Structure 1
Amino acid sequence: MKQALIIGASGGIGAAITQALDARGVTVTALSRSHDGLDVTDEASVEAALAPLTGPYELIFVATGALEIDGATPEKSLDQLTPKAMADQFALNCIGPSLVLKHARHLLPRNQTAIFAALSARVGSIGDNRLGGWYAYRTAKAALNQMIHSAAIELARTHKRSICVALHPGTVATDFTAKYAARHKTVPPQEAAQNLLAVLDGLTPRDTGAFFDWAGKPVPW
């Protein structure tokens, strides 16, 4: 891998992925809201940030996302569900990566292996959902998974060796999870980054459209 594009590079996982790739000698283009003003929920912002880039990037990694937006915490019951919280989650966790792929797919090489990966979450799995709750976040990540699967089909028509996947990073010790990690084993961002890169290293075009966890195991849809 020679070049990679990281979206959300100022967050815990995004920064760790950027550092790990840099240590490998990969030339990384790192974009984020805090450093570059990139708002993935605003198509004009996404287009403006990506239009000047030339690539080609063998990896485009979207590490954006949030459990809480504007103070709305994951719901424990239907009574706590609000239209705004659901719309906000969908905008950031599904629409955002979708817009990145829309405006960045031309930056992927057509004649060699290239990966588009976005951070999803196991709680977005419908088949693995046994606890309920967390309606807005679960629903947004489930929608992201469907987008990734569908986009993989289209992308394969023009980029025969493309790999388009959703990734569950595990519970990573970041500000993102600080309030919700008490019952879960956490790993530092640097370890999570190495885990995710190891998964990406092992993928082939036959894996496109799938959903994998940090250990490379398929996650149920």
Structure 2
Amino acid sequence: MKQVLVIGASGGIGSAMVSALEARGARVTGLSRSGDGLDVTDEASVEAHLGALEGPFDALLVLTGALEIDGAEPEKTVKAITAKAMADQFAVNAIGPALILRHAPRLLPREGRSVCAVLTARVGSIGDNRIGGWTSYRAAKAAANQIVHTTAIELARTHSEAVMIALHPGTVATPFTEKYLGRHPSVPPEEAAQNMLEVLDTLTPAQTGGFYDYAGKEIVW
């Protein structure tokens, strides 16, 4: 990966990823809300920022996301669902990535290997759900997985060597997760970035449209 576009470059994972890529000698173009005013929940903002880019980029990494929005914590039970909290989750975690991926066919090269990864989460897996809870976040991430899978199918028609996946980064110790770590093992952002890069390095076009974790293991939908 020599020319890389990182969306969400100022976040905990995003900034670590930018540093890891630059340490490899990659030329990184980073966009974020705090650094550039990119608001993935605003269609006009996405169009303005990504429309101004020419590319091609041999990697597009969508590292945006939110677990708690406007003080709304993940629901412990379905009885706690509110329309606003669920809509906010979809706006950030599903619609935002979809608006970004609209630009993928133009920004990725038609010839040669390219990689596109969208951060989702293992809790977005329907088959892996054993304990319930977190309905809005789970549903938004499941929707993001479908968006990635569908886009990958379409992209393969014109970009035969492109690899587009949904990627679970593991539990990463950032402000994003600090209230919810509990007894779950976590890794610092720098380690998570290296783990994800190792996965991205080994992907093949045969894996496009898949859902993988930070160790390169496929996750059930």
The superposition leaves residues 47-67 of structure 1 with CA deviations (integer Å, 9 ceiling, x where unpaired) of: 100112111101100010010
The answer for the alignment partner of 1:146 in structure 2 is 146
In the alignment, structure 2 segments of 5+ residues that lack a partner are none
The superposition leaves residues 173-204 of structure 1 with CA deviations (integer Å, 9 ceiling, x where unpaired) of: 00000000012101000000000000000101
User: Letter of the aligned partner of 1:174 in structure 2?
Assistant: T
Say whether 1:41 aligns with 2:41: yes
Tell whether the 8 Å contact from 1:120 to 1:168 is kept in structure 2 after alignment. yes
Task: Classify the secondary structure of the residue corresponding to 1:158.
Answer: coil
The answer for the alignment partner of 1:53 in structure 2 is 53
Task: Classify the secondary structure of the residue corresponding to 2:136.
Answer: helix
The answer for the alignment partner of 2:213 in structure 1 is 213
| Inter-partner Cα distance in structure 1 for 2:105 and 2:2 | 17
TM-score (norm 1): 0.99
| Inter-partner Cα distance in structure 2 for 1:41 and 1:114 | 26
The answer for the alignment partner of 1:175 in structure 2 is 175
Say whether 1:166 aligns with 2:161: no
The superposition leaves residues 31-62 of structure 1 with CA deviations (integer Å, 9 ceiling, x where unpaired) of: 00001000011111011001121111011000
Task: Classify the secondary structure of the residue corresponding to 2:103.
Answer: helix
Task: Classify the secondary structure of the residue corresponding to 2:171.
Answer: coil
Tell me the matched-pair count.
221
Task: Classify the secondary structure of the residue corresponding to 1:22.
Answer: helix
Task: Classify the secondary structure of the residue corresponding to 1:115.
Answer: strand
The answer for the alignment partner of 2:62 in structure 1 is 62
| Aligned-pair CA distance for 1:104 | 3.6
| Inter-partner Cα distance in structure 1 for 2:80 and 2:96 | 24
The answer for the alignment partner of 2:126 in structure 1 is 126
| Inter-partner Cα distance in structure 1 for 2:162 and 2:124 | 24
The superposition leaves residues 96-128 of structure 1 with CA deviations (integer Å, 9 ceiling, x where unpaired) of: 011001024301000011111110000000000
| Inter-partner Cα distance in structure 2 for 1:18 and 1:166 | 19
Give the share of equivalent positions with the same residue, in percent. Answer: 66
User: Letter of the aligned partner of 1:186 in structure 2?
Assistant: S
The answer for the alignment partner of 1:8 in structure 2 is 8
Task: Classify the secondary structure of the residue corresponding to 2:17.
Answer: helix
User: Letter of the aligned partner of 2:114 in structure 1?
Assistant: A
Task: Classify the secondary structure of the residue corresponding to 1:178.
Answer: coil
In the alignment, structure 1 segments of 5+ residues that lack a partner are none
TM-score (norm 2): 0.99
Say whether 1:99 aligns with 2:99: yes
| Inter-partner Cα distance in structure 2 for 1:2 and 1:201 | 12
Tell whether the 8 Å contact from 1:50 to 1:104 is kept in structure 2 after alignment. no
Q: Which stretches of structure 1, 4 residues or more, deviate above 4 A after TM superposition?
A: none
| Inter-partner Cα distance in structure 2 for 1:127 and 1:214 | 18
Task: Classify the secondary structure of the residue corresponding to 1:76.
Answer: coil
The answer for the alignment partner of 2:185 in structure 1 is 185
| Aligned-pair CA distance for 1:78 | 1.5
| Inter-partner Cα distance in structure 1 for 2:33 and 2:85 | 20
| Inter-partner Cα distance in structure 2 for 1:22 and 1:105 | 24
